[in-house]
Amino acid sequence: MKPAPFQYVVPESLEEVMDILGQHGAEAKVLAGGQSLMPLLNMRLARPAVLVDINRLPGLDQIAVEDTAVEIPCLVRQRAAERSPIVAEELPLLREALRHVAHPQIRNRGTICGSIAHADPAAELALVLVALEGEVVAVGRGGERRIPANAFFRGIFTTALEADEVIRSVRIPRRRFSGQAFREFSPRAGDFALVAVAVALDVDPQGRVQTARVAVAAGSDVPARLTEVEARLQGAQAGAEAVKAAAAQAREAVQAGSDAHASEAYRRHLTEVLTEEALLAAMATTGGNVA
Amino acid sequence: MSTEQLKTEAERPVAFTVNGQAWRGWVEVRRTLADVLREEVGLLGTHVGCEHGVCGACTVLVNGQAVRSCLMLAVQADGCEILTVEGLSESTERLHPLQESFWDHHALQCGFCTPGVLLSAYALLQENPQPTLEDIHEWLSGNVCRCTGYQNIVEAISDAASRLSAEKGGR
């Protein structure tokens, strides 16, 4: 199909974006990379009255390293992030996850912030933002606010963004982990994941897990941390035994959804398998001895 | 017409370069690049399959990068350089080495997916002249082919990479 008619505006500043959004509210949609919105327009699942194309906004396509965080503005393409030396150095988990996002041809246009704003429950980038305790910088007529990832995703395709707000950037803390890993299972490469797992941890010189982050997207409304599993890992000797126990617990703790693509039971199974793989891989990158 | 007026119009003037040729015209803002390439520019080599970014048949290069032309509005291509399958070979006498290789390896059957596959492969070889099988698989994952089973396409791209590297090395 073809998009329904809309009014097309190309603002030249964020202030102009806010004005337009303020005026049209939910009738307006922001178009960045378009890799989620364009399919919805083509299929007429979305019929916004006004399409606000932000692609010509100046100065919002470069990743910046600040003292405490890496800032990724709204016009940074996924493929640019994938190739960024900053991301390779500071955010290896993001880099690993990006390779699972659709295909290179899609990542060439798709943006990091666009995927976050779209809030698909299976999206890799939302999961990474939750795992790394990132925040969304939203700007609107009321000013700027920073929304932590765990408060940003409210449900399927639903976020804390107000109708007059646009994501200016996402910020991810500069926090080195001794190891991290991303694993997902999808029926075909590039498909949305049935289950995706993001793991980051610190292992002390004695081989004990100091901190662990385990985040899972398993077909429920939003990606979530498995805090019980994290607590269980903390203080445990890094190795196959602790990993097996943690993975088994993840299977029970995860909020798994059931739909045409996979049953809840299958998603629980995948959660266990992928959590085990991810934890072992993360421990292996710490250089520790994983028995 | 002032900029302010333009911003609310259903049609806008668009100018871009396709396969080295300048093109300009008025375009309805809601039309995709794929449709404008086919119906306004008259280049029917870019195929339209799923219209939601999954099949890859409409893949073209915009400013050197492989993208889905069904997931981009034509107005967004204003000022861009576009390469379609028609622009791959430099003359009508000779196919591009990738196309030669597809011929040699029987890498197409019905041909519907072929333009998109060729442009994905072209983009891959531009940024990575000696791809591994895994690299080729990753790029091809963005193009659906229902005839060949992919094996011959993978072989064709792999062989083309060798030929192109040899050509370059020989010069």
DSSP string covering A91-116: -HHHHHHHTTSS-HHHHTT-BHHHHH
Q: What's the confidence (pLDDT) of residue B92?
A: 85
Q: What's the confidence (pLDDT) of residue B170?
A: 52
Mean pLDDT, each 10-residue run in order, chain B (171 residues):
56 97 97 98 98 97 98 98 96 93 97 98 97 96 94 98 84 47
- Which residues of chain A are within 8 Å of residue B52 when distances are taken between CB atoms? 38-39, 42-43
- Which residues of chain A are within 8 Å of residue B72 when distances are taken between CB atoms? 34, 38, 109
Identify which of B53, B75, B124 has the shortest CB distance to residue A39: B53
Q: What's the confidence (pLDDT) of residue A111?
A: 98
In chain B, what are the domains? Answer: 3-87 (3.10.20.30), 97-169 (1.10.150.120)
- Which residues of chain A are within 8 Å of residue B55 when distances are taken between CB atoms? none
Stretch 79-108 of chain B: residues touching chain A, C-beta under 8 Å = none
Q: What's the confidence (pLDDT) of residue A287?
A: 58
- Pairwise CA distance, residues A127 & A198, whole Å: 7
Identify which of A5, A8, A38 has the shortest CB distance to residue B75: A8
pLDDT tens series, chain A, 291 aa: 899 999 999 999 999 999 999 999 899 999 999 999 999 999 999 999 999 999 999 999 999 999 999 999 999 999 999 999 999 999 999 999 999 999 999 999 999 999 999 999 999 999 999 999 999 999 999 999 999 999 999 999 999 999 999 999 999 999 999 999 999 999 988 888 999 999 999 999 999 999 999 999 999 999 999 999 999 999 999 999 999 999 999 999 999 999 999 999 999 999 999 999 999 999 997 755 454
- Which residues of chain B are within 8 Å of residue A188 when distances are taken between CB atoms? 141
Identify which of A51, A109, A190 has the shortest CB distance to residue B142: A190
- Pairwise CA distance, residues A95 & B10, whole Å: 40
> Closest approach of chain B CAs to the CA of A189, in angstroms?
6
Count CB-CB contacts under 10 A for residue B141: 19
* Contact flag A42-B29 (C-beta cutoff 8 Å): no
- pLDDT tens digits, B16-42: 999 999 999 999 999 999 999 999 999
Q: What's the confidence (pLDDT) of residue A179?
A: 96
Mean pLDDT for all residues in chain B: 93
Could you tell me where the DSSP H helices lie in chain A? 14-24, 37-42, 78-83, 85-90, 92-98, 104-107, 112-118, 124-131, 149-152, 227-233, 240-253, 264-285
Q: Does A83 touch chain B (CB under 8 A)?
A: no
Interface test with B, best of A7, A8, A55 (most B CBs within 10 A): A8
Model ipTM over 0.90: yes
Helices B114-127 & B133-140 angle (0-180, nearest 10): 140
Residue A271 and residue A251 in contact, taking contact as beta carbons nearer than 8 Å: yes
* Contact flag B70-A42 (C-beta cutoff 8 Å): yes
> Closest approach of chain A CAs to the CA of B65, in angstroms?
7
* Contact flag B71-A43 (C-beta cutoff 8 Å): no
Residue A159 and residue A119 in contact, taking contact as beta carbons nearer than 8 Å: yes
Structure tokens at A223: 């990606």
Residue B142 and residue A102 in contact, taking contact as beta carbons nearer than 8 Å: yes
Q: What's the confidence (pLDDT) of residue B6?
A: 47
CA distances A238 to A27, A80, A179, A274, Å, are 52, 34, 11, 17
